Amino acid sequence: MQYNWQNLNWEKFKFDDSVIDSLCIDFALETGELKGLVDSLPTEVQQETILQFMISEAVKTSEIEGEFFSREDVMSSIKKNLGIGDAVGQIRDKKAQGIGKLMVTVRNSYSEKLTEFIIKEWHAILMEYSKRVNPGEYRSGVEPMQIVSGSFGKEIIHFEAPPSTQVPAEMQKFINWYNDFEVKPTDIKRALIKTSISHLYFESIHPFEDGNGRIGRTIAKKCLSESLNRPVLMSISSTIEQNKKQYYESLKQAQKTLDITHWILYFSTLILESQKNAKQIVLFTLNKTKFIDRFKKQMNDRQSKAVLKMFESGISGFQGGMTVLKYVSINKTSRATATRDLQDLTIKNILIPKGEGRNRSYDLNLLS
332 and 260 in a common domain: no
347 and 204 in a common domain: no
243 and 107 in a common domain: yes
User: Hey, is 134 helix, strand or coil?
Assistant: coil
Q: What is the CATH number of the domain that holds 313?
A: 1.10.10.10
User: Hey, is 130 helix, strand or coil?
Assistant: coil
Which pLDDT value is given to residue 1? 60
The interaxial angle of helices 43-64 and 94-108, nearest 10 deg, is: 120
- Taking the chain, what is the end-to-end CA distance rounded to the nearest angstrom? 59
Which pLDDT value is given to residue 94? 83
**Residue 293: inside a domain:** no
Q: What is the CATH number of the domain that holds 264?
A: 1.10.3290.10
206 and 168 in a common domain: yes
78 and 27 in a common domain: yes
Backbone phi, then psi, for 205, in 5-degree steps?
-75, -40
Could you tell me the mean pLDDT of each successive run of 10 residues in the chain, 368 residues long? Answer: 90 96 96 90 87 91 91 88 68 87 96 98 95 92 81 77 96 98 96 98 97 97 96 94 94 96 98 94 87 95 95 84 96 97 96 91 88
Return the H-helix or E-strand segment holding 266.
Answer: helix 261-295
Which pLDDT value is given to residue 90? 73
**Residue 217: inside a domain:** yes
Could you tell me the residue range of the domain that residue 235 belongs to?
4-284
**Residue 196: inside a domain:** yes
174 and 106 in a common domain: yes
Quote the DSSP letter at residue 162: P
46 and 166 in a common domain: yes
**Residue 291: inside a domain:** no
Which pLDDT value is given to residue 86? 52
Which pLDDT value is given to residue 312? 84
Give me the numbers of helices (H) and strands (E) for the chain, helices first please.
14, 4
Distance CA(355)–CA(323), nearest Å, equals 11
Number of domains making up the chain: 2
Residues of each annotated binding site: 210-217, 247-248
**Residue 351: inside a domain:** yes
Given 284, 312, 343, the domain boundary residue is 284
The CA distances from residue 202 to 175, 281, 296, in Å, are 10, 29, 48
134 and 219 in a common domain: yes
**Residue 295: inside a domain:** no
Q: Check if the beta carbon of residue 217 is closer than 8 Å to that of residue 236.
A: yes
Which pLDDT value is given to residue 368? 66
Which pLDDT value is given to residue 87? 47
Given 284, 309, 343, the domain boundary residue is 284
∠ CA 84-107-54, rounded to 5°: 65
90-118: b or e for each residue (b if 16 or more CB lie within 10 Å)? ebebebbbbbbbbbbbbbebbeeebeeeb
Q: Write down the catalytic residue from 123, 199, 206, 262.
A: 206
Q: Check if the beta carbon of residue 44 is closer than 8 Å to that of residue 225.
A: no
Given 255, 284, 313, the domain boundary residue is 284
Return the H-helix or E-strand segment holding 181.
Answer: none
Q: Check if the beta carbon of residue 54 is closer than 8 Å to that of residue 103.
A: yes
207 and 108 in a common domain: yes
**Residue 290: inside a domain:** no
Examine the residue annotation and report whether 206 is marked as an active-site residue of this protein. Answer: yes
334 and 196 in a common domain: no
Which pLDDT value is given to residue 234? 94
**Residue 69: inside a domain:** yes
21 and 86 in a common domain: yes
245 and 175 in a common domain: yes
Residues of each annotated binding site for ATP: 210-217, 247-248
